[in-house]
């Protein structure tokens, strides 16, 4: 029996060795202005302190920026963490928080899809005619909410 909702990421070797290095270099400049739905997320590992720069697709959900991923780097935002977002050639600081609760992840994914984003852009595939549940969507993607840094 085929899965009704499944993850469809591009090949890992392609992302790690071709796409991410290229986007890390190009998104902070002109390409970032041409691809407004893309950004580079800069943060430090919560245990190792390692600096990361991850190209991401970034979406708006109820006035909050959100990233959908199945990647291990998202665990760095469990409990919240500071983040720098480089988007459209500009840098801003904020706070990222990992969300795994199906009651929050499911509606966020549906909202982004309803706004015109394709399933492929967020790396999922839903069987035609199937209305996915929150649990099904949260099983293939987690969300990282990105909020602006508090003024002060």
Length of the chain: 152
Q: Which residue segments constitute the domains of the chain, with CATH numbers given?
A: 5-148 (2.30.110)
Q: How many CB atoms lie within 10 A of CB 91?
A: 12
**pLDDT for res 149:** 81
pTM, whole model, 2 decimals? Answer: 0.92
Indicate if the pLDDT at residue 30 is higher than 90: no
Token readout for 132 is 């996915």
- Count CB-CB contacts under 10 A for residue 142: 20
pLDDT over 80 at 119, yes or no: yes
The pLDDT of 95-119, averaged and rounded, is 96
**Contact between 137 and 5 (Cβ < 8 Å):** yes
């Amino acid at each position: 029996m085929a899965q009704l909702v499944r993850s469809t990421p591009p090949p890992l070797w392609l992302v790690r060795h071709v796409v991410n290095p290229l986007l890390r270099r190009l998104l902070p400049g002109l390409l970032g202005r041409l691809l407004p739905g893309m950004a580079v997320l800069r943060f430090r590992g919560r245990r190792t302190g390692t600096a990361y720069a991850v190209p991401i697709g970034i979406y708006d959900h109820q006035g909050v920026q959100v990233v959908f991923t199945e990647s291990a780097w998202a665990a760095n935002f469990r409990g919240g963490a500071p983040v720098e977002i480089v988007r459209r050639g500009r840098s801003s600081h904020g706070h990222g928080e990992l969300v795994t609760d199906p009651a929050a992840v499911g509606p966020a994914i549906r909202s982004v899809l309803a706004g015109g984003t394709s399933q492929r852009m967020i790396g999922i595939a839903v069987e035609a005619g199937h209305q996915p549940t929150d649990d099904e969507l949260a099983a293939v993607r987690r969300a990282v909410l990105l909020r602006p840094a508090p003024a002060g």
